[in-house]
Each structure stands twice: as C-alpha cells, then as structure tokens.
Amino acid sequence: MHDFIDRRGDQIGGASGILALLSIGGFAVIGAAGLAVEPGASTRDIAAAVSDGNPTLAQTGLYLDTLGSLLFVVFAACLYSRLRRAEREHGWVSLAAFGAALAMITAGLGDKAAYYAIFSRADAGLDANAAAALYDTAAGFFMLFQALSGLFLLLTGTTALRTGALPTSLARAGVAIGVVGIAAAAAPEASQLAFPFVGLWIIAASIALLRLPCPPSTVRASRRRGHETDRRSAREPSAPADVTSSSHYRIGRG
C-alpha cells in the first residue's frame, strides 16, 4: 500500500513538472502583448511598450505563468518526497533542496508582482520612470530566481548521486547546471542564457518521476529486515537443555 501511494505521488509530481514548464509559455504571451522589455532598456523604449502594449493580454500571460509556479510547488514537493525516501533518516540535503525550491518560487512571485503593477496601470498613464523601476525590480527578482534555481538543482543532484533516487546522468547534470546557474546569476544576460537548461532538467526529472519505480524507504527497509530476522529466530529450534549436568545432579542425590 505504501509503495502504491509513493508511486502515485511520483506520477503526480512528474505531471505537475511538465505542466509547470508548459505554463512558462505565459511569458511568450506577455511578449506577444508588447509589454516585455530587455533588461536595461531605455526609458523611451519602456514608455513605448507601456503605451502601445496590450495589458489585458499581458495579464493573461502572467496568470498562466503564476499557474506554472503553483504546479512547480507540487513537483518540488513530490520530488522531495522521493529523495527523502531514498535518503537516510537524518539526512538534510533533500530538505535543503526543497527549501531552495520554495525560495525560488517566492522570488518568481516577486517578479510577477512587479509585472502585475505595470500591466494593471499601463492604461492609466503609468509614468515611464516608475515603469522602469518596476521592470528593474522584476529583473532583480529574476536574478534571485536564477541563483535559487541553481541551488535547487545542485542540492537535488547531490542527493540523487548519494542515494540513487534519480538516474546518475540526470543527477550529474543537475549538479553541473546548478553550479552554472548560480555563477550565471551574477550577470543578467548570462542568467537568461542558463535558464533554458534549468527548464530542460526539470522536464527530464519529471519524465523520470513518471517512469522510474519507487526507491525503497530506508525506514521501511530496516523494519522489514527486522521482521525477517524475528521470523527466522522464531523458526530456529531452541538449544537443548544440558541433560548431562541435570542427570549428574539426580545421580548424586540418589
């Protein structure tokens, strides 16, 4: 029964991860609405985007991206459950990976809040300087998002290498992409180039959750071994009593 529940959790996590990546297409909708600007864009370009863009379409894209964040929380929780089952009882790396995932989502929501402020005020004559500050805020949150996503992949890959909860190639890729993602967060342009690799790794991890069998729980495995030992001990015949010494005792008294 436990294995069935664990397997269903892995499947839910895999499906959520794939849907979360598809929901990132909301940024494409924002771009189609004409309200996506490059980091460091001039105030004139920002003013043109705010005045000529379609804020209603942009808010639709923002909602899709927010939905992807919620699905990613489910993916991260199910992945943590798998890593935790494979990790020793007092392991901490899988918990740190899950914490990094939650912090990553928090940074992403900050990015979305800044965009929402722009889109909701675009038709109300939003000042170009205020819009520029909000776009810079969104870019700053994205840099945090990139660094935390790198930490999430690094810790997840490290746990998977130690426990075998994920394929070795996927675990090594997570460590490598995680290190690159953390380093790339120092430069906005480099962080945008590194993010597609994070997305590819999440898709690969989601597929692994859908296809791989459940790793055995360390606690359940130890309990199972204990039960088997008890059953073997119960089946083994008890040692015969020391008949010789008791016979000598009776003979001596007789």
- Residue-level pLDDT at 237: 53
Q: How far apart are CA 80 and CA 95, in angstroms?
A: 7
pLDDT, residue 215, reads 65
The answer to whether residue 226 sits within a structural domain is no
Q: Identify the pLDDT of residue 194.
A: 81
For residue 244, is it within any domain?
Answer: no
User: Which own/partner contact pairs does 161-166 have at CB distance under 8 Å and 24+ positions apart?
Assistant: 162/87, 162/93, 163/83, 163/86, 163/87, 163/215, 164/86, 164/215, 165/82, 165/83, 165/85, 165/86, 165/87, 165/215, 166/82, 166/205, 166/208, 166/212
How much is the pTM? Answer: 0.80
pLDDT number for residue 191? 67
Tokens of 192: 């945008």
Digit-by-digit pLDDT tens for the chain (254 residues) are: 455 567 788 899 999 999 999 988 888 898 888 888 887 788 888 888 888 889 999 999 999 999 999 999 999 999 999 999 888 777 899 999 999 999 999 999 999 999 999 999 888 888 989 999 999 999 899 999 999 999 999 999 999 999 999 999 999 999 999 999 999 888 767 667 788 899 999 999 999 999 988 665 544 444 444 444 445 555 555 545 444 444 444 444 44
Looking at the structure of the chain, the number of domains it has is 1
pLDDT at 234: 52
Residue 50 lies in a domain: yes
Domain-embedded: residue 232: no
Domain membership of residue 250 (yes or no) is no
Does any domain span residue 240?
no
Considering the domain boundaries, does residue 245 fall inside one? no
In a domain, 199, yes or no: yes
Instruction: Give the separation between CA 141 and CA 113, rounded to whole angstroms.
Output: 10
DSSP category for residue 238? P
Range of the domain at 170: 2-214
